[in-house]
Chains A and B, each alone.
Chain A
């Protein structure tokens, strides 16, 4: 069966402000970012759905020594979506020097930012951009 939600499709959707994932017709579980089969039950029977784009910060770090091509400091965080899966992205509306353990448990809304690629990245990409709610 054809790959349902490829990286390119996922990326194009994000770039038109739609955060998409896969919802399983067998078990109801969500697979985000997409995979060939359901992360919960391995079924291929999944539909592309638009997600709530909201979640909760589970952990974070501030990158101070970056890979070539990135300007530090910046915050990388793992967020648990309201639909269940965890995703990685950047907390974009907070001064990295103000990031503390208090971030954990805070609610975020999820957008995206375009990231310029390098010679190893097969073109430009997108990263999820987390904004603190309230």
Chain B
């Protein structure tokens, strides 16, 4: 295995877009390619994350069309689908193919147009991440799964639900605060704990602002072998470690305050990188719901199990806290175009490690991490980057 670096990144504005999924991806991809000082023809493969393109635009097999749109119609172009973790799974594979020596330069990222579906259809299709035979007919939704996780967490750790809900609201408040500083974020306004706690209930105990939005958007990164990377850019950002884990349907996971797919993945990432949670300077993780961020900060080892909600309250995850979490605004404020999300997390971490994040810059960040979760806690993929 040889060293691999990210040499260029691109990302569209997140939110509602007039553009197609292919058009959005092409914009992000060409920005990444231009920044990499290469031409499209230098790319040897395209790995594309996409969750629900079939339902959003009636578009299957989008990857070859994305490749054609940027002038490389004949390279192998493949869709990766791991629900909300699709792009991170695609990037992990881009890394592995370049690290193996098979390719020198691979383009990876993702695109999504979830807002085209409207809430009832989007809720239906997102719920396809559950076991369609043994769970789907109960009418479970994605927020429903995390609502159940919040109740489990409250019970298991003896944190009264009202107290936990306040701590969860602080996750949303923090991420919105960060989102204000991110020009590409879907939401750029601060909110308050009171506002979160007065929102409509989506799935008990989760209220509207506990939930990330449906979003449109795309992001892309160019992965290159270390030799190529040094020729192409003065600021290569190296991939130090990657990990991916799975878990079966939610009912097989039993106490899902502990996400086994994540614990499996992050062990691989830390081992390969030769670092631990204390070494991570900045992290973009999967805050699809406020409780999801709390569970992730514990699963990645930043806090003890059962202490994550308190850590938020103590400001430990704020931009100037001991481990800044989601400086981009996270899925909560930046937006969550599912097939693109992991690539947007990587975009942020690469920019952080290059110190290009302006007001939301985590000072002196040298090691950064992304963590992306797909389906009912069934896929988790993470990557550690260093400068």
Residues of A within 8 A of B (CB): 7, 33, 39, 58-70, 74, 76-78, 80, 85-90, 99, 101, 104, 115, 118, 120-121, 125-128
Chain A: minimal CB distance from B118 (Å) = 9
The residue of chain B having its C-beta at the shortest distance from the C-beta of A11 within the complex is B133
State in angstroms the CA–CA spacing of A87 and B250 once bound together.
9
**Residue of A58, A60, A76, A126 with most chain B CB atoms under a 10 A cut-off:** A76
Task: Indicate if B15 sits at the interface (CB-CB under 8 A).
Answer: no
State in angstroms the CA–CA spacing of A104 and B202 once bound together.
20
**Complex contact B123–A88 (CB within 8 A):** no
**Complex contact A66–B139 (CB within 8 A):** yes
7 contacts between A and B (CB under 8 A): A7-B134, A61-B143, A61-B145, A61-B204, A65-B123, A66-B141, A68-B121
**Complex contact B203–A67 (CB within 8 A):** no
| Additional pairs, 5, CB under 8 Å, beyond known A63-B144, A64-B203 | A61-B144, A63-B203, A65-B141, A88-B135, A101-B151
For A59, the chain B residues whose CB sits under 8 A away are: 148-149, 151-152, 155
State in angstroms the CA–CA spacing of A67 and B125 once bound together.
8
**Complex contact B152–A67 (CB within 8 A):** no
Task: Indicate if B1 sits at the interface (CB-CB under 8 A).
Answer: no
**Complex contact B204–A62 (CB within 8 A):** yes
State in angstroms the CA–CA spacing of A38 and B313 once bound together.
43
State in angstroms the CA–CA spacing of A69 and B132 once bound together.
14
**Residue of B127, B135, B250 with most chain A CB atoms under a 10 A cut-off:** B135
Tell me the residues in window 95-150 of chain B with beta carbons closer than 8 Å to chain A beta carbons: 119-121, 123-124, 127-128, 131-141, 143-145, 147-149
Chain B: minimal CB distance from A103 (Å) = 9
The residue of chain B having its C-beta at the shortest distance from the C-beta of A103 within the complex is B151
**Complex contact B134–A101 (CB within 8 A):** no
For A115, the chain B residues whose CB sits under 8 A away are: 137-139
Chain A: minimal CB distance from B71 (Å) = 36
**Complex contact B141–A33 (CB within 8 A):** no
**Complex contact A87–B251 (CB within 8 A):** yes
Task: Indicate if B75 sits at the interface (CB-CB under 8 A).
Answer: no
